[in-house]
Every structure is written in structure tokens, then in C-alpha cells.
Chain A
Amino acid sequence: MGYVAIKGGGQAIDETKKVFDYLRTRQSDTALPLDSNIIENQLRLLHSRVISEGGVYHPRLASLAIKQSQGDTLEAAFALRAYRSTQPRLLETPVHDTSNMRITRRISSAFKDISGGQMLGATTDYHLRLMRMDLLDESPEKFRAIAKQWLENTSVEHIPDTFPKVLESLRAEGLLPPIENNQVEVNQTQKNTAEAEPFDITREPLVFPVPRSAALATMARGEQGSLLAIAYSNMRGYGDVHPTVAELRVGYLPVFLPHPITGELTEIGEVEITECEVVAMYEEHSDESPQNKVHSNMNKTKPTFTLGYGACFGHNEVKAISMAILDRALQKGMADGPANPSEDPEFVLLHVDGIDSMGFCTHYKMPHYVTFQSDMDRLRATQQKSNPKE
């Protein structure tokens, strides 16, 4: 007897660790442990998702996180994030130009003919989702032959190093606002105009209203399902972004940092990213909007399309598109006030983080004896008053 429900916690926790690890290894005598290269390659998209939600580009640790969490994306991203807390921020990267990306896939649903061409790359978009029974018993020989054959049959000679951005052609035609104007728009949403530097969500809390850079950073490491659900609400009618994907590109972006001695920008490696730009229908700026009040003289230009931007680590197309749609919705909400949840920065940005939401959801499994005792006290008191005869 004694504190029945809560005593002996330490030992119980140790045992949960053991049985959790047993389940990972129980398969059979001939089972092999998962190799981190296998995870990175054969579970490529799972790996992408974890690296993006974990918010730190560390492919090896992302594989380890997947392995130790036994494939739970939220748990794996969580472990990466916690690792990140032990690391200081040493440097800030300059703004990177994604037209320098080494592309593995890029498409546009706005134009058939885009400069450089549509490059479908690796996608399941047009696959029939039929079960591939032949993969059930795949021999190592057959498996290796696939890669070999593909490399032999693919010529790399006529693939250009980089591709121009689709948006540039739209901008050239005057269908999009020029970049300078965009910059002004970004600055407007920041209370402090002098502070044009991007907001670092890992070093500053979100105190609303927040600049667009804070929103983009929050969504870039947001949980894919959460972003998708809120973006989908906008697509279905709780909002009216009606996006067109001007360009979706996947590939490797070279990363530059200032050289510690010379200060010269030096390439230090590359990160795989997915980037999406959506174009939305133009809006006639209502004169009541706070932005127009301030800048009515500066902004008296002809109407143009509006933009939404999404980008994240790894190959995560659904996430990048959802983020771009939400960016558009949030910009509208920041300018005119939110008309639905997807346009409300507080609603979107405080609820899309997987680490936060899964943690809080999980915490309900912890004991709440004291608060529940308190709840019962209130209920009994009210019950007694509503039923005075007893």
C-alpha cells in the first residue's frame, strides 16, 4: 500500500526503456540493425520530414533520430530539436539566392513552357498507387541492378547547372510587384522599421504582431500535417487564396558563410530544400487597410498578382505548398485583419509546431491527481448546492 499509483517511478521508467528497445530488436536471430545510410536513402522522404521539422540540417543525426524513435516522425524531430538546444548560434548566413540551386525537380503549373523546361524528377504524382508485390521479396542483386541500370541509361551531359526562376518572367511582364516594393511590404509589418533583419525564432519568442520572416521561419519547421490541415481549410472555403503554383523546385542549395579570416563568402556545403512559390489572384487594395493608409502615396501602382512563399529543408512538397498558401493567407490577415483561422497569425503560428503540440498532448498522460482532487471538490460543492436535501 502507500502511494499506489505513483511510487516506484524510477524503476518503471527504466523498464519502459528496456521493453521499448526490445520491440526494436525482437524480429529474429537473423535480423540486422537499421543502418543510418539505409534510412537516409530508402526512407528518404521520412528522413526529409524529420530533418525539416527538427529544424537542424544534420542528415546523420536525423537518421539516428528515426532509428531510435522507431519511425515516429514527431519523436524523431523532437530529438533533433532537443539536440539543437545544446548548440550555440555562431553565425548568421547571408540571404541565399535559390536560383543557384542544383535542381533535382522543378515544375510550374502556371505555364506549360517555362524557361529551362519542366523537370519532373522523382515524384509519385502520376504513379498508380497499386501495391508493388515484387518489392515484397526483393533480392539484393535485383535491388542493386536498378540503380546501376538507371545510371547507365541516363545521360547527364545536357542538364544545365541551374535553372532560372519562373517568377522572374512574371515580374518582367509586370504581373508581380517589383522586389523593392515587396521589401517595403515586409518592413511595414515590422513595428520597428529600422530592424529589417530576419527574425530568429530560435532566439526570440513570438510576441504578436510578428514580422513575416518570423511566420516563415515558424512554418519552415512546422509539422507537415498541421500545416496541411490549416492550409486545406483555406483551400476548401475557409479562406480564398486560390493559389497557382508558379514554381515548385527541389534540389540542393549551396550554403555560403563568411570566411573566418578573410570575411569572403565561402561555400561550406549544400542543403537539400523544397521551395514553392504560389501566385494568387490580385486584390484591389481597400483604402481602409492600415498599410495603404500609411503608404497610400508610395503604393499607387497598378494591381498585380500576390505571392505566397514556402521553403523547408528536405524533399517535402506538400509542406512547401501548404506553407506558401498559408504565407499568402497570413499576409492578407496581417494587412486586413483575419477573416478565418488560416489568416490569423496567432492561430496558425502557435499551433503548427509538432514538438509543442505533441508534447502538450502527451503530457495529459501524466498524473493529474492534485488538480483532479481540486476538480472533485468543486463538483461536489456545486452538486450539494443544487441538491440541498442530501
Chain B
Amino acid sequence: MSTAYPFGFLDEYAKKEVRRTTLKAVAIPGYQVPYSSREMPMGRGFGTGGLQLTLALIGEGETLKVIDQGSDDSVNAVSLRSFIEMTCVGINTTTKTEEADLIQSRHRIPEKVLREDQLLILQVPYPDPLVVVEPSEDKRKTLHGEADYSRLLVKLYEDIVKFDEITISHRYPTRINSHYVIDSSPIPRWDVPKLHQSSALILFGAGREKKIYAVPPYTKAEPLAFEDVPFRVENFTDSIGQRRSCQRCNCTSSFLDEFIDSTTGEKVYQCSDTDWCDTQQSLNRSTQAATDSENVSKIGEIAHG
């Protein structure tokens, strides 16, 4: 079945175009570089932009991690991963952030800090942060060129006037290298600071809108804010001001998913990044085991002593 398709599904000209576009995107941090964007065998909106980047950049022997909503096992991540495995013979896949050369993700940046030799590919539904204030792409291009983001700032200001809060929850507009403002893709505000001076190259692929843009390593990434109204990430403190923890690994420093426990009907919180959660759990277990064995040996000492 898979033998009918070339390595990486796309024909070589298409992959070459994606790579050249990527180089341009890295050279002009935050600038949305148009490219022709081929149709992929999965729906536009399911990560075809990220997928084209992955297929064009991955090579034999490299290791890939695919996540969606922070999870390696969510339906779309599974479907993307198995497609890439089917068409890229000789690659490895992993769920461990530290083992991956390439990470394709939707809606999250892993909690674990990425390294210089890693590449993060984010799937993007709307590449242009100005679309909320200007529907015409032609006009938006001029605004970007002139770094004219006044209408976006006015929108933030109006939010404060109306709600006493900036209401943008995700896709937070972020200025890259002091010029272009990007749509940070639907990552939560929690992940936006991870773009700033990141060791890893971060690429953004918008398949349907036919754009690729990049936050190169060690580049400034500043979320739009005002001097007196600073940028704030999601708040995970409870009613008495205590930081909520993951009910699985007890982590108090990760982005949490909130849901209703189907058996107890209670509201519970869990790490959205499953690999992070698993790692914390096994760390807990090994420290627990260490303390246990310490205790056991102490007991032994007491018994024998």
C-alpha cells in the first residue's frame, strides 16, 4: 500500500519548495512566507502545514514525536504519526520529548525545555494575527511590512476598557525580533514565553493558508502588552490562592487540563503534556522508592542493631 508513494509522500519538487521556504522564514524571523502548499491525504485544518514541514525536513534515522493537545495518543496525533511512519521508511518515533529530533505539535509546546539540536513544528490554522482587525490579506501584508500593529493594540486596549482584561486566550499575538507580530498558533498563553530565546528552532506551518514562518533560536519573542497591563499566562490557583496540582503526578508547574471525573462527578486537573506527566510520575516513584529503601535499610539497621 505504502510502496505506491515516494518517501515523504510529496514529490521531490514539493519538498524542495518547503525547504527553501523554510530557509527564507528563518532568515526573516516572524515573516509569513507564502508557499504553494500541496493537498495532503488528511483534512485541511488537521495539521497539513505542519505535516508538509515534517515530511520535507525529516530524514532516515531521525526520531519524531507527534503530539496533539500535549498528548501523543490523541486521535489526530496517532493518525499523523502513522501516516508519517507509513510514508517515511526508516524513521523512528518516540513519545519522549528528550529523544525526539523533530516534534510536530498542535496547540502545545512541550513543558520540557527543548535543546538546540531539536526542531519544533507547530500546526497553524490562522497564520495572521491581524486577521481579527483586517480581513483582507492584501491590506494585512502592507500593515506587516510597515510593522503597523496599532489596530491590534487598539483591540487590546478596547478589551481592557470593556472587560478590564485582555480577552485573547490563545493564539496570542507575539512580536518576533522587534518587527513582525506572529499568530503564535493556538498554543495557550502558558506556552508563549517558551518562544522567547528558545534554544530550538520553532517552525510554523499553515497548510490551508499556505504560509510558513519561524522563530529562529535565540530570538526575541514578546507578547503584545502594555507597560501597566503586563502579559499574563493562565491562572491555575484555586479559590484560596493555592496553585492547583496534577492529580496524577502532583506537578504544580505545568499547564493543566480541567475535566469532570466521570465516576465522582468532581472537577479534577491533570497535566496536559502526557510525557511530562509520565516523567514526573516515574520521578516521584523513584524518589519514593529511594525513601522507601532508605527506610527499609534503616529498619533493617534497627532490627539488626
Contacts and interface: CB of A to CB of B under 8 A. Distances in A.
A374 B189 contact: yes
Choose among B14, B186, B263, B274 the residue with the greatest number of A CB atoms under 10 Å from its CB: B14
A6 B71 contact: yes
B287 to A, nearest CB: 22
Interface string A78-93: 1101101111110000
B47 to A, nearest CB: 9
Contact of A205 (B37, B43, B257, B263): B37
Interface in A348-381: 350, 355-356, 358-364, 366-371, 373-378, 381
Contacts of B74: 6, 9, 367
A12 interface: yes
B68 interface: yes
A204 B289 CA distance: 59
Interface string B117-151: 00000000100000000001110010000000000
Contacts of A378: 165, 167-169
B11 A88 contact: yes
Contacts of B6: 86
B73 A7 contact: yes
Nearest to A12: B75
A382 interface: yes
Choose among A358, A363, A382 the residue with the greatest number of B CB atoms under 10 Å from its CB: A363
B75 A13 contact: yes
B218 interface: no
Interface in B54-85: 68-71, 73-79, 82
Contacts of B112: none
A129 interface: no
Contact of A374 (B40, B75, B234): B234
B186 A370 contact: yes
Contacts of B39: 78, 81-82, 84-85, 355
Contacts, number: 176
Contact of A385 (B13, B138, B163): B163
B169 A371 contact: yes
A6 B73 contact: yes
Contacts of B77: 9
Contacts of A363: 43-46, 125
Contact of A373 (B38, B46, B188): B188
A284 B11 CA distance: 49
Interface string B1-40: 0000110011111100100000000000000001111111
A1 B78 CA distance: 20
A78 to B, nearest CB: 7
A1 B82 contact: no
B179 interface: no
Interface string B281-299: 0000000000000000000
Nearest to B37: A205
Contacts of A360: 43-45, 125, 208
B242 interface: no
Contacts of B125: 360, 363
Contacts of B5: 86
A6 B169 contact: no
Contacts of B107: 368, 370-371
Interface residues of A, number: 58
A203 B17 CA distance: 9
Interface in A64-97: 78-79, 81-82, 84-89
B11 A370 contact: no
A209 interface: yes
B43 A359 contact: yes
Contacts of A206: 210
Contacts of B248: 2
Nearest to B272: A370
Contact of A366 (B76, B169, B171, B208): B76
B68 to A, nearest CB: 7
- 4 smallest CB-CB distances across A and B, nearest first, come from A359-B44, A363-B45, A359-B43, A85-B38
Interface of B: 5-6, 9-14, 17, 34-41, 43-46, 48, 68-71, 73-79, 82, 107-108, 125, 136-138, 141, 163-165, 167-171, 186-190, 208, 210-211, 234-235, 248, 255-259, 261-263, 270, 272, 274
Given A82-B39, A85-B10, A368-B69, 18 more contacts: A1-B263, A3-B73, A7-B73, A9-B74, A9-B78, A85-B39, A89-B13, A205-B35, A205-B36, A208-B136, A350-B137, A358-B43, A363-B125, A369-B257, A370-B187, A374-B234, A378-B168, A385-B163
10 contacts: A3-B270, A85-B38, A86-B10, A205-B34, A359-B43, A359-B208, A362-B46, A370-B255, A371-B170, A374-B188
